Structure 1
Amino acid sequence: MESLELIRKIVSNSEKHRMINLQEENQNKEYEGLTFNIEQHTFRSRLAKKTPKKKGYFVVFWEKDKDNKNQPYTFDNMPEKLIVSIIDNHLIGQFVFPKLLLLEKGILKSENDKGKMAMRVYPSWERELNPSARKTQKWQEAYFINLSNEIDNQQAAALYFT
């Protein structure tokens, strides 16, 4: 799993952090779905995919309900952070979204929102976006780390652990 190797590379840069309780999420296997902990912090991870006809990268995250139907994750069932990795040849990066932000953006299911089972992410290297995509990229940029050249350990630690 490419995304797992990328996360391990980032975590290994810090001697005090260790990944535990790693579990594959079979329903999102195509997107390398994982959950894990690092110390007391909880994470869900996905690998985003490039789509040929649209800018950005597409990622899914859903679970089966009691009737075996796909549904968005709920705020209560969501770990603290969602990591969305992008590995596109020499372009590599991660979004690390806090669950409160995902609730605020209507991505997690709540009493007030039906939630979403997928989204598109726009890393800093994406240009010439339509107005809607630019607006999305704008709120996403604070949660993105470009790993194409090197790992900024301070930025990675801030996104992962604060």
Structure 2
Amino acid sequence: MNRPLALAAFAGLSLLGPATDTLAQEARFQLLLAWTVPEIAPEERSRLASRTLTVILGKGGTVREEINRNHGGRGRVREGALGDGLDARAHWKVLNENTLLRLVAERSHTFAIRLQTDGARSCSVTLEWRLKPGFTAYEGWARRRDVPIRYRQPTVQQAACTVL
């Protein structure tokens, strides 16, 4: 399925209501995400990571995401096309007419956000981390401490979706 057709199928769900031209409208979702990161190096500790992610699907297969870290700081805005990269690591793709998948490729793992809708103005979201072959721990960067970290499987604390 090509990107514009996939977007039309996704946006054409009753999610947007009885619109005559669904591609002229945007589909907007707000994702509230939180997970615990069980760090094992440089020291053992657990920390909570949280994000509010607004996903905007536009006409012609465009996608815009606004990411805010809930502990403060400036948000990031990324724009691109479904299937193409938003940056060097992240991209959204259409799995089927009800499901979008956001993949982020890290050195040690992939991080996936699966956004699903039933077409009745509701949605759900799931999070998944997968280690790449050859790795026994997840690797990342602790921005506040400005150090590399290693951690075990994160635990989802919140994964909520609202159609805006």
TM over 0.5: no
Highest RCO, 1 vs 2 (Cα 8 Å, sep ≥ 6): 2
Specify which structure has the higher proportion of helix. Answer: 1
TM-score of the two chains, using structure 2 as the length reference? 0.28
Q: Which has the larger radius of gyration?
A: 2
Output the TM-score relative to the length of structure 1: 0.28
